[in-house]
């Protein structure tokens, strides 16, 4: 398969391919779920999600402060729940999507959206995932920093020389470095010319070897899902593993387990969107980060960031629009 580099501008195609994307950790803000609770059925849905994740999502999504919701075992279920609330609010228009992908923990929202597992199973998995990753992060003082700019090969070589891991290849000239806090401090103190280093408000070195202890815990909860409740994706589903589409639901779940200690290849996902002829992107709540990356890497592709219910009409318009030429 020919992969179009993410920097290539996209021209309108004769068919519509609207990709729905689900954000990852760090996109949450205090009180961001409050407006969603005003939608019919949202409170009941969120209560069920809270039970499945064993996290009070109403409390943390409406009242808790920034420090509280930065805790990965709270942040992860909040983000997946918000994405699924937005997905269901789009209703029948979701059938118009040309595919779905999630960034990091957003992959669990993508699995539920494409029908691989139920919403409740996705929230149960993400609850366990968040707690297991929080436990792994507590064992050593680690973190993550965005590295903006520079030549990718040079940045990766520098990170490896500092014993840091390129945990997220986000495309658009952004790599996320992860590892020991003193190593991240050394990177920030002397960045290469033309490179900015921005510390991220996360609690550990996710998608690296530091998360290895969380994998068997996550595997156990995945193994508890009855085979009859796992289905193949109803829509194209791209994986962070290498940007390819995953045809089997069982494989998608195994990739979720591997993902927590492996790099997120969002750059390859966006390259695959380009190869598929993407004509629009809708980012589910709490949106913004992935649309920002797409504007740099998929130039000319219209996008909608669904941050609040007020953004739903624009998303519906993009999903339901006629063919552009």
64, 83, 104, 121: the active-site residue: 104
Question: 186 with 249, same domain?
Answer: no
**Confidence tier at 172 by pLDDT (50, 70, 90):** confident
Please report, for the domain that includes residue 278, its CATH number.
3.40.366.10
Position 108 in a domain: yes
Tally the domains of the chain.
2
Which residue range(s) make up the domain with 160? Answer: 142-199
Position 97 in a domain: yes
Residue 291, CA atoms < 13 Å, CB-side half-sphere: 19
End-to-end CA distance of the chain: 25
Position 279 in a domain: yes
207, 241, 262, 303: the active-site residue: 207
**Confidence tier at 193 by pLDDT (50, 70, 90):** confident
Sign of the alpha-carbon torsion through 150, 156, 161, 162 = positive
Position 225 in a domain: yes
**Confidence tier at 2 by pLDDT (50, 70, 90):** very low
Domain end among 174, 199, 224: 199
Question: 94 with 187, same domain?
Answer: no
Tell me if 266 sits within 8 A of 240, measured CB to CB: yes
- Joined together, the tokens standing for residue 164 give 């840091």
Catalytic residue flag (residue 104)? yes
Question: 91 with 186, same domain?
Answer: no
Position 50 in a domain: yes
| DSSP code of residue 94 | G
Instruction: Determine the pLDDT at residue 6.
Output: 38
Using one digit for the tens of pLDDT, what is the confidence trace for 56-97? 999 999 999 999 999 999 999 999 999 999 999 999 999 999
Cβ neighbours around 241 below 10 Å, total: 21
Please report, for the domain that includes residue 188, its CATH number.
3.30.70.250
Q: Is residue 217 predicted with pLDDT exceeding 90? A: yes
- Three-state DSSP class for 101? strand
What is the maximum alpha-carbon separation in the chain?
A: 54
**pTM for the whole thing?**
0.92
Q: Is residue 108 predicted with pLDDT exceeding 80? A: yes
Question: 236 with 104, same domain?
Answer: yes
Question: 178 with 216, same domain?
Answer: no
Tell me if 144 sits within 8 A of 137, measured CB to CB: no
Catalytic residue flag (residue 7)? no
Q: Is residue 229 predicted with pLDDT exceeding 60? A: yes
Using one digit for the tens of pLDDT, what is the confidence trace for 275-313? 999 999 999 999 999 999 999 999 999 999 999 999 999
Sign of the alpha-carbon torsion through 113, 174, 130, 58 = negative
């Amino acid at each position: 398969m020919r992969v179009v580099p993410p920097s290539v501008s996209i021209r309108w195609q004769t068919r519509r391919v609207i990709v729905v994307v689900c954000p990852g950790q760090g996109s949450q803000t205090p009180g961001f779920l409050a407006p969603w609770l005003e939608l019919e059925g949202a409170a009941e849905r969120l209560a069920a999600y809270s039970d499945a994740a064993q996290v009070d999502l109403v409390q943390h999504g409406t009242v808790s402060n920034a420090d509280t919701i930065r805790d990965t075992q709270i942040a992860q279920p909040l983000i997946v729940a918000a994405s699924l609330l937005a997905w269901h609010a789009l209703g029948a228009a979701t059938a118009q999507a040309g595919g779905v992908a999630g960034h990091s923990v957003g992959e669990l929202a993508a699995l539920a959206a494409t029908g691989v597992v139920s919403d409740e199973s996705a929230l149960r998995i993400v609850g366990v995932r968040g707690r297991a990753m929080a436990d792994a992060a507590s064992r050593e003082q680690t973190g993550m920093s965005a590295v903006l700019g520079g030549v990718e090969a040079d940045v990766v070589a520098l990170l490896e020389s500092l014993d840091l891991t390129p945990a997220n290849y986000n495309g658009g000239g952004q790599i996320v470095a992860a590892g020991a806090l003193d190593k991240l401090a050394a990177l920030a103190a002397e960045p290469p010319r033309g490179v900015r280093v921005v510390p991220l408000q996360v609690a550990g070195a996710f998608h690296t070897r530091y998360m290895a202890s969380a994998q068997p815990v996550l595997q156990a909860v995945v193994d508890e899902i009855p085979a009859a409740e796992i289905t193949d994706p109803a829509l194209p589903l791209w994986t962070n593993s290498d940007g390819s589409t995953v045809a089997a639901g069982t494989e998608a779940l195994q990739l979720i387990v591997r993902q927590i200690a492996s790099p997120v290849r969002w750059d390859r996902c966006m390259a695959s969107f380009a190869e598929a002829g993407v004509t629009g992107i809708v980012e589910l709540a709490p949106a913004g980060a992935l649309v920002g990356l797409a504007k740099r890497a998929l130039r000319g592709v219209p996008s909608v960031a669904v941050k609040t219910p007020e953004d739903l009409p624009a998303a519906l318009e993009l999903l339901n629009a006629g063919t552009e030429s």
